[in-house]
Amino acid sequence: MKKILLVYNPVSGHAAFKNRLDAVIENFQRRGIFLSVYRTQAEDNSAFVECVKIFQPEGIIAAGGDGTLHAVINWLKKNSLDLPVGILGSGTSNDFAAHLNLTDEKIFDAVANDSTRPVDLGCVNGKEFFVNVASAGVFTSIAHEVDSRLKNFLGKSAYYLRVPGELKNFKSVPLEIFADGKNFSVDAFLFLVLNSPSVASFKKISDTAKIDDGKLDLLALKKCSAAALINLTKKILAGEAIQSDENIFSVQAKTFEIKSCVALTSDLDGEAGDLLPLKIETLRHAVNFFA
């Protein structure tokens, strides 16, 4: 019988995954898969590594949002644990699972059939990893300030409820960007370094970002007028890729170095990261995902 470790976040989304837990266990058992369950903690998750060592699973399933997946990936990479990863999306934001077009049934069958695909990761400052997006700027700070209870209750709209009140505070910052050694200077409201094109519940911010091409895509929203911001928002809401918009700076590379004279805290898959400067490296095919 195949052994899989299920890692679930008890507060992701509407904290409702526990109501699905029995059905998830039943679906895996019906396919000849035995689950052991690890419940994430708010602070110390050192027990995760011990669970892996004792249980010796053949794969990990992350049940939660992008933040839960981010945590699992970092626990694995930082402890040199090479295991395939699956996702049961149950968080406020499930952008990476949405990009892979994963349903519960697909994950159950993929694990049973050992169906995996290699996926790139981004590595920040040689110590932190992201699977979907690294960013910094205006909207990043808003997301970090949203109360977790409000986020769980309202979902993604909790972020956007903060935006109207923050418009008057939108300020661009000077960015110095080195992309595979080439130097660019941009005055921007924010930047995104994408592995997948799915960000903030929008499925196609970029039409060149791919999760297995060995490169990352940087998009920076340049300083522009309110009218230009509205037009750009319309494009995003219409599902259009935006890297060709005149107000977007776009470059694809294997490595980035991003600096600013303004103090900016980065965001990695929805979790607070390091202050700039950032050195970002693409790790090609660093993780196998059940898909």
Within its chain, how far is the Cα of 248 from the centroid? 21
Got the DSSP string for 147-172?
Answer: -HHHHHHHTTHHHHHHHHHHGGG---
Distance (Å, whole) CA 123 – CA 214: 12
Q: Is 270 left (phi over 0), alpha (psi -120 to 50) or beta?
A: left
Distance (Å, whole) CA 141 – CA 264: 9
User: What letter represents residue 216's amino acid?
Assistant: L
Residue 246 catalytic? Answer: no
Phi, psi (degrees; rounded to nearest 5) at 156: -60, -30
| Beta strand extents in the chain (DSSP E only) | 2-8, 33-39, 60-64, 85-89, 116-124, 128-130, 133-137, 173-179, 182-194, 216-222, 248-253, 255-259, 265-268, 271-275, 278-290
Phi, psi (degrees; rounded to nearest 5) at 115: -90, 115
Which of 58, 240, 271, 281 is catalytic? The answer is 271
| Catalytically active residues, by annotation | 271
